[in-house]
Homo-oligomer: A and B are copies of this chain.
């Protein structure tokens, strides 16, 4: 299993609700994918302009297919317009 943390920072002046509305469509579609174990948008408790997707995938193949999915190719460019930055890390548990 692999975990992804995709930490986004909104541009100044962007409304959190606008970002969340777009992201909700991405969440709904992504959860239907094979190999998606969990996928959820999170807000930073101390900074509402930080919005982070926390994800769990069966394997790298499933993540790769997700990154080429119709909903990612459609919605992610729209989210990108609202973000100042994004920091993506892919993790494996150390046992």
Footprint of B on A, CB under 8 Å? Answer: 2-3, 5, 7, 20, 23, 40-46, 50-52, 54, 89-94
Chief secondary structure at chain A's binding surface: strand
Q: How far is the CB of A45 from chain B (nearest CB, A)?
A: 4
Copy number in this complex?
2
The answer to whether B2 and A52 touch across the interface, beta carbons within 8 angstroms, is: no
The answer to whether A2 and B45 touch across the interface, beta carbons within 8 angstroms, is: yes
A91, closest chain B residue (CB): B42
Contacts of A23 in B (CB 8 A): 94
Q: Which of B7, B51, B89 touches A50 (beta carbons < 8 Å)? A: B89
The answer to whether A46 and B90 touch across the interface, beta carbons within 8 angstroms, is: yes
Q: How far is the CB of A86 from chain B (nearest CB, A)?
A: 14
